[in-house]
Structure 1
């Protein structure tokens, strides 16, 4: 779970999901593979599923993000605040709901 949280939070350091995935996913999978007893299919699914919400949590996260941000519908402060709230909710629900379900499936 620590690797998943690190992978998720490190997205803030990248300008796109492609750059984030290309740089970090192979490294995280290599680290996870060296941990005894880890279920790699579940870990891979968790890592890839965590990418789903990253387009809206920052104004620069993916291609459509600047369009949402540039519309002026949400002020900058609210965009970051709501991105943090929904990002945290998504990550917690991924770990609390999706992880046990994926473990049962694999």
Structure 2
């Protein structure tokens, strides 16, 4: 068991990232950030707001240890900002949902299963890129 360095490395890094995401929510960072984003995007048309929110949602996943933590913390808050800007609710919900799934395929460390598949040798780094 001690020789499984890839598994231990994954466990240690994910535990640190889970703790960080948990503390962001506990300290009120996510609601504060959502309010800040809504204020910053005030006055823009809803298509521009939605595109900017999707880009923020897509790239903010690097701050979270798992897709579940990311969606739990960000999806509803950003959807609320989109709908408040006048964006169609169903369209906004679907776009955030689609990009929530797409972010898992960007790198070999972007989602929970990705590092395990990469470390196990199922997919080489060269093939991934």
- State if a TM-score over 0.5 links the two structures: yes
CA distance in 1, matches of 2:105, 2:113: 8
Query: Residue 26 of structure 1 aligns with which residue?
Result: 76
2:104 to 36, 39, 55: 55
TM-score after normalising by structure 2? 0.52
CA distance in 2, matches of 1:53, 1:25: 14
Q: Compute the displacement of 1:24 (Å).
A: 0.3
1:42 to 88, 91, 101: 91
**SS where residue 124 of structure 2 aligns?**
coil
Residues 15 and 60 of structure 1 are in contact (CA less than 8 Å); yes or no, is this contact kept in structure 2? no
Q: Compute the displacement of 1:15 (Å).
A: 1.2
Aligned residues: 77
Gaps of 5+ in 1: 83-106
Query: Residue 64 of structure 2 aligns with which residue?
Result: 14
> What root-mean-square deviation, in Å, do the aligned CA atoms of Structure 1 and Structure 2 show?
2.0
Structure 1 segments of 4+ aligned residues over 4 angstroms from their partners: none
